[in-house]
Structure 1
Amino acid sequence: MLSEERVRSYAKRKGLNRIIKLMIATDEQRQWIVDNQAGMSRRQLTTCFNNRFGTSFSISQLTSYCRRRGLKADEITRNRKPIGTVSRQGKFLCIKTANPDKWEVMHRVQWESYHGKKIPEGFMIVFADGDCDNLSRDNLVCVRDSIGIVINHRNRANTANPELNKVIMLSESLNAMVNDRERLNKECV
């Protein structure tokens, strides 16, 4: 009699991807997979299956078997991170806000929470002290997109002093308002 390892090795060398079909031979095993696959992650399913039936399938083998049978994991298993989970994506903290995976940038969510309103169209949130992890109320400043781009491009508002950074942001806002007014006056003439 051949060992499972020898059969797997032979199947891999010969490119026989569906050898697991032959290994899951009993109706009891098939029915157990159908009954339990939706409520577990594929890792849990594989561990429980191997423990129950004394087999040694890999996660990818059982996942492949389920996929071929049209057995899909439910919403809870596919989206394992619960709503409210905070994760770093790039340099910003993000929070999961809905299923299926909807993530929002944490500083925008915090600003909206502090002020009780949505960020106006054409505006963005910048950090007064330049620290993307500092989500305190007085560190989050709402500025027009054009100002945020100017501030980030020139890096003028990235000093060590948050109060000075806020003054620089305000002066850039005033400059933008003056430029808008001048542009409007030229168009009206």
Structure 2
Amino acid sequence: MPRKIWTEEMYRYLREISPGRYNTEIAEMVNKKFGFDFTIEQIRNAKSRKKIKSCVSRHKPNPDEGLFNAEQKEFIKNNVKGLFNQELADLVNKKFKLSVTAEQIRIYKQNHNLISGINTQFKKGHKPWNKGMKGLQIGGKETQFKKGQSPINYMPIGTERIDSKYGYTLVKVRDDGPLQGRWKHKHVVLWESVNGPVPAGYVVAFADQDKSNITLENLILVSRKQLALMNKNGYFQKNADLTKTGLVMADIHLKIGELKRVVTYGKN
């Protein structure tokens, strides 16, 4: 093994490859190129000496976190070009035997800056097929919507979609009433199907913080007070058991607070 002496060439290479990479990957690349066996700590020290920054988050993310695992994420990245969301969803489902929707693919692409490259806008000079047909009846009365007939974009009860703002899975529970009342959080529907309506002042939360993991064992009923305390103290963890332990701790803190108030008021 050659003696570990940092040369200017090595420092230049280190500076070139460091942005956007974690020290584990950097060490592998440096060792492969120069035939050394630098440790992660030695790479960190070398970067520090030359004030080289990687500009990455403090903790390296788990590539299998989220809706897709690392292999599926790489597959989506490699096949996103030239496919509409539904086409890509069908391809992913066929490859990995999943059941993701076009909406889930759209949100994933948006969150990971993936672009299909398909231009869906009208090009300059292009004439839409219905130009000049205002008021024109096509197909006769037989093809027009009749009273009580569902429109072509009707979604039946039980249809699921992803809330693009918060990432929750919504399920359609009714056809009538206000639009916002026709859809309900799927995890709440599941919890209530076993336990009855969610009590006032409580919410149903995900124990492992994964909004796609909609199973009874991953759902916990939390009061608003418990929720505030858990968020404040960082009791919500990606490990469901740790979160459930945090819920117990939050409950103990609240009970202690109640007892202290009772003692204080009793003295007064």
TM-score with structure 2 setting the length: 0.43
Q: Secondary structure of the residue that 2:204 maps to in structure 1? A: strand
* Conservation of the 8 A alpha-carbon contact between 1:143 and 1:173: no
1:78: how far off?
7.3
Percent of aligned pairs sharing the same letter = 22
Between Structure 1 and Structure 2, how many residues are aligned?
A: 133
* Conservation of the 8 A alpha-carbon contact between 1:92 and 1:105: yes
* Conservation of the 8 A alpha-carbon contact between 2:236 and 2:243: yes
* Conservation of the 8 A alpha-carbon contact between 1:79 and 1:99: no
Q: Which string of whole-angstrom CA distances, capped at 9 and with x for unpartnered residues, describes residues 126-185 of structure 1? A: 111121111221110101112113323443321x42212101111102212332343455
In the other structure, the counterpart of 2:234 is 155
1:77: how far off?
1.4
- In structure 2, the gaps of 5 or more residues are 1-126
Q: Secondary structure of the residue that 1:95 maps to in structure 2? A: strand
Q: What are the within-5 Å matches in structure 2 for residues 55-70 of structure 1?
A: none
Q: 1:87 aligns with which of 138, 141, 161?
A: 161
Q: 2:173 aligns with which of 69, 72, 97?
A: 97
In the other structure, the counterpart of 2:143 is 36
Q: What are the within-5 Å matches in structure 2 for residues 32-181 of structure 1?
A: 32-33=140-141, 35-39=142-146, 74=148, 76-77=150-151, 80-89=154-163, 90-100=166-176, 101=179, 102-115=182-195, 117-158=196-237, 160-181=238-259
Q: Which string of whole-angstrom CA distances, capped at 9 and with x for unpartnered residues, describes residues 12-43 of structure 1? A: xxxxxxx724xx3xxxx48924x53225xxxx
1:105: how far off?
0.7
Deviating above 6 A after TM superposition, structure 1's stretches of 4 or more consecutive aligned residues are: none
TM-score with structure 1 setting the length: 0.58
Task: Give the structure with the higher percent helix.
Answer: 1
